[in-house]
Structure 1
Amino acid sequence: MHATSPDAVLFDLDLTLCETTQDRSEVLSGTFDRVGVDQYCGVADLAAVAPQVPEVSSDHEFFVVLFELAAERVDGVDPDGVPVDDLALAHDDLVDHSQVRFRDGAEAALEAARDHGPVALVTNGGRETQTTKLEALGIADAFDATVFCDPSAGMPPKPDPKPIRTAVDALDVDPAATLHVGDSKASDVAGAHAAGARSAWVPYEAASDDGDHDPHHTFDAPDGVRDVL
């Protein structure tokens, strides 16, 4: 056991524990093709504006705003003329949430954390969508507590401190002795700090470096968390 090992570990889900097996670029191009709109952004462009999406009430509304924000950044594209609702609907129809796999090092990280102490999931996503992913991975019952960030159910997304505080309360542990592991500086690291918890940043791609928050730990892959347990 590490001298400063946490009493409990919290995990983000998307791009922390799992990644899609679908080609994200193909899904996005298919989205624009289905709606009949010239593609004005790529996967990286959407990832870059994702931290700017304010609190919304559904996954659909999230993508509506996401496509709007991406359009605002492109010269020659009138955001008011983009059928963002249709794009969001098409994108949702093309995404298969069951087509996921563990990110490299994620399964080992989860196993090590479970062996160490209480473990919780804190994910920015609705219960139905995220449960589909958990069941596909075979880890729906792997957590001592699970928090789905869904504003329509009264749970705002990270970086609001409420989700992490809710998980900490469910585990009955001290926030300062809790480690939250996630891929996003803007939501995971910031959310952990707002809740008084420690943070471990496991960047997935360049878009993960989406904020000025300094994590307590940085690991190339989720299994790096074993170094502090």
Structure 2
Amino acid sequence: MRGDSPAAVLFDLDLTLCVSTQAPEDLLSATFERAGVQPFCEVVDLAAVASETPECESDREFFAALFDLAAERVDGVDPATVPSWDLADAHDALVDHSAVRFRDGARDALDAALAHGPVGLVTNGGRDTQSTKLDALGIADAFGATVFCDPTAGMPPKPDPKPVRAAVDELGVTPDEAVLVGDSKASDVAGAHAAGARSAWVPYDDASNDGDHDPHHTLDAPEDLRDIL
């Protein structure tokens, strides 16, 4: 760090730089319908357990675990009766990873970071899925370092410190010279701290407050990143 200003900025992707243009409620409803399963949870129930899923090797495995956890938490549901893999397959068939847009203020935040110094991306998602989103946003080549967290490729997801450290190494800075901007306390804030980096928490919704980690900076909106550069 040069004073309070970071030498480099790392961004999370989902709900930090981009959001889906597919309405979550409609996608979940269509998922239940396609799988032939009576709806037993809402989007808020899935969001509440997202940070508790075990380390997964694919989007399919992640969503199966997500439905399993939601079934365990929702009153009146027998988890043993929930076909979580069928639901995961239905979701995978319906989700369009190219249907994304910049989160409000995120384009300004990215531009400010690029004008300031080295910029990296550290995203909990596989290369194919996340590259589709980056291509749709037109920012696939915007980053000096791009780290896709994929356990099958030897890169565990945040909050493991390895992906953050890999990004700062590629950018040529030390962890304490970087700030990670993300929406999740459980993965982004915790991952930054585990790696020895600073954190800038930019909550997207109530589910963003998914851990007890105290960020170095709390941003009301992505464009407020300018205030700490």
What is the TM-score normalised by the length of structure 2?
A: 0.98
Please list, as runs of the form range in 1=range in 2, the aligned pairs for 1:175-214 lying within 5 A after superposition. Answer: 175-214=175-214
Distance 1:40 1:217 in 2: 37
The CA deviation string for residues 82-132 of structure 1, in whole angstroms up to 9 with x for no partner, is: 110010010111110101000011001001101110000000000000000
Task: Tell me what 2:10 maps to.
Answer: 10
Q: Is residue 40 of structure 1 aligned with residue 40 of structure 2?
A: yes
Q: CA deviation at 1:75?
A: 2.1
Q: Percent of aligned positions with the same letter in both sequences?
A: 72
Task: Tell me what 2:162 maps to.
Answer: 162
Q: CA deviation at 1:44?
A: 1.1
Task: Tell me what 2:134 maps to.
Answer: 134
Q: CA deviation at 1:223?
A: 1.0
Q: CA deviation at 1:134?
A: 0.3
**AA matched with 1:210:** D
Q: Is residue 81 of structure 1 aligned with residue 81 of structure 2?
A: yes
Q: Is residue 61 of structure 1 aligned with residue 76 of structure 2?
A: no
Task: Tell me what 1:121 maps to.
Answer: 121
Q: Is residue 25 of structure 1 aligned with residue 11 of structure 2?
A: no
The CA deviation string for residues 41-78 of structure 1, in whole angstroms up to 9 with x for no partner, is: 11111111011001111111000100000000122211
**AA matched with 1:214:** D
Distance 1:66 1:120 in 2: 28
**AA matched with 1:166:** A
The CA deviation string for residues 169-190 of structure 1, in whole angstroms up to 9 with x for no partner, is: 1111011110000000000000
What is the TM-score normalised by the length of structure 1?
A: 0.98
SS in 1 for 2:77: coil
**AA matched with 2:164:** I
**AA matched with 1:8:** A
Q: Is residue 93 of structure 1 aligned with residue 81 of structure 2?
A: no
Distance 2:74 2:24 in 1: 20
Distance 1:53 1:142 in 2: 30
Corresponding residue pairs, total: 228
Distance 1:77 1:4 in 2: 50
Using the TM superposition, name which of 36-45 and 202-211 deviates more.
36-45
The CA deviation string for residues 148-168 of structure 1, in whole angstroms up to 9 with x for no partner, is: 001111110000000101001
Task: Tell me what 1:218 maps to.
Answer: 218
For structure 1, the 5+ residue unaligned runs are none
Q: CA deviation at 1:3?
A: 4.2
SS in 1 for 2:62: helix
**AA matched with 1:194:** A
Distance 2:13 2:166 in 1: 16
